[in-house]
Amino acid sequence: MNTSVDDSMAAMLNPQILLAAYSQGIFPMADEQGLISWYDPDPRAILPLETFHVPRRLARTVRNGPYEVRIDSAFRQVMEACAAPAPGREQTWITPEMIDTYTALHDLGFAHSVETWLGEELVGGLYGVAIRGLFAGESMFSRRTDASKVALVHLVERLRRGGFMLLDTQFLTGHLARFGAVEIPRHVYKALLARALQVYAVWDP
């Protein structure tokens, strides 16, 4: 069951609250009215770094495809693209307030984006929160074939090089399952989180 926790924190959304929440395994999402709630799902989805699977065709695209991958060069634009309506996703859980707050967290060095570019056009990417050995993936978007998938492959490579232990994806989707994402009980996630927060990982290895 996906569990919502105390919503009183919503009025205090700021970088410090976000860091405290993620360190406890809690994250915010907004509803259709823009009201922010905090979630602590059970089960929780993670993407194990050691068993991350890259399909053969995608591996060729990563090596030889048309996309340039950039890191942290357009964080706000990535969030805005993730928040924009898309086929099958007319509503968004990312509010302007959240974009402002996560961008502030990015400015502090705790939130990051991986972007795919075609020339000077931003065509895909993802963003998330990095705290010690945890990377909490938040959302991704794609405007061209495989653009977000290429970003995910580069993210995992960077996390491995940097010594990260835990890639949290929050919820399991068919898209992520193809890469090896799994669901685990909340108490197991919390144990992994506690271990990850004891690790000194480096975003720029």
Sign of the C-alpha dihedral computed for residues 188, 152, 181 and 36 taken in this order: positive
**Domains of the chain, with CATH numbers?**
41-196 (3.40.630.70)
Bridging pattern class, strands 27-30 and 36-39: antiparallel
Euclidean distance between CA atoms 105 and 196, whole angstroms: 20
> Residue 174: which H helix or E strand, with range?
helix 174-177
Q: What is the DSSP letter of 89?
A: B
Contacting residues for 7 by C-beta, under 8 A, at least 6 apart: 35, 36, 37, 38
- Write the CA distances from 179 to 58, 136, 138, 139, 169, integer angstroms: 11, 16, 16, 16, 12
Q: pLDDT 10s per residue in the chain (205 long)?
A: 445 555 445 457 899 999 999 999 999 998 888 889 999 999 999 999 999 988 888 988 888 889 999 999 999 999 999 999 766 555 678 999 999 999 999 999 999 999 999 999 999 999 999 999 999 999 999 999 999 999 999 999 999 999 999 999 999 988 899 999 999 999 999 999 999 999 999 998 6
Angle, CA of 133, 195 and 167, to the nearest 5°: 45
> Residue 186: which H helix or E strand, with range?
helix 186-196
pTM for the predicted model, two decimal places? 0.92
